[in-house]
Amino acid sequence: MSVIPFYAEQAGECMLFEHAWQQQLPLLIKGPTGCGKTRFVEHMAARLKRPLVTVSCHDDLSAADLVGRFLIGNGSTHWSDGPLARAVRMGAICYLDEVVEARKDTTVVLHPLADDRRILPIERTGEELAAPPEFMLVISYNPGYQNLLKGLKPSTRQRFVSLSMNYPSSQVEVGIVQNEAGISEAQAKQLVQLAKALRALTEHDLEETASTRLLVSAGRLMASGLPLQLACQAAIIDALTDDLATAQALAEVVHALFGDTA
């Protein structure tokens, strides 16, 4: 019996996901880095007892990488499905993480799968895969990185049901950090207190702020015996910036909150 990955629901997102899956609707998840998007999808795939195919999108990811290509071997060529085609054949949940990072031609491939046709045309083989009822397409991206060059077109966005996620409330986040890192409630509260302070900063030019993921990393270091200040320096501050002045300013926040006991 497979174990369902831990996920703390915040605002009915599990119910939304399940209803979208039942109605054969694709889902777009928007949220900052480290807020739990990937863990949420893993949780729901296990909960619905469906295989999960995850693709971490990047600048070089093309439509062929998703759909498949002909390979040469042993003096002949044979077709090899890409992760998207495999997911359709399996009736899996296919999760494209940070989809806006991929090449523009990938979204065109997604369109017939994301509307009422629910098909994946494979032009190179002439095959047209019909998605079974169990298949679900899920994509995610971070709106904080969206710009004129990296954004979803309305023709793509409007094919998806949308879910906006953010960092959890302090109470929920304490429970997540405590559970995932294996530390005490008091220690988890310290890390969440620090995250709240860092997220309130506006004078420093940070691309991202302290995510729940970074808090869990710091907590795991603390669980192994590393002092809070060193754990925060390694897992949070140095992960957020390479600028020495900014790192020093963030370290001062840690010292202001916890003093020499950190």
Concatenate the DSSP letters of all residues of 105-123 into one string. Answer: HHHHHHHHHHSTT-EEEET
Closest CA to 235 of 214, 249, 256, 254: 214
Rounded alpha-carbon distances, angstroms, from residue 82 to 42, 89, 183, 193 = 20, 11, 40, 44
The CATH-assigned architecture of domain 13-164 is: 3-Layer(aba) Sandwich (3.40)
Instruction: List pLDDT tens digits, range 104-140.
Output: 888 889 999 999 999 999 988 889 999 999 999 999 9
Instruction: Give the pLDDT band of residue 148 (cuts 50, 70, 90).
Output: very low
pLDDT at 149 over 90: no
Q: Give residue limits of the domains in the chain.
A: 13-164, 170-261
pLDDT for the residue 260: 64
Instruction: Give the pLDDT band of residue 75 (cuts 50, 70, 90).
Output: confident
**What's the whole-number average pLDDT of the chain?**
90
pLDDT at 261 over 70: no
**Cα(260)–Cα(258) distance, integer angstroms:** 7
**Cα(150)–Cα(222) distance, integer angstroms:** 37
pLDDT at 7 over 90: yes
The whole-number average pLDDT for the span 201-214 is 78
pLDDT at 13 over 50: yes
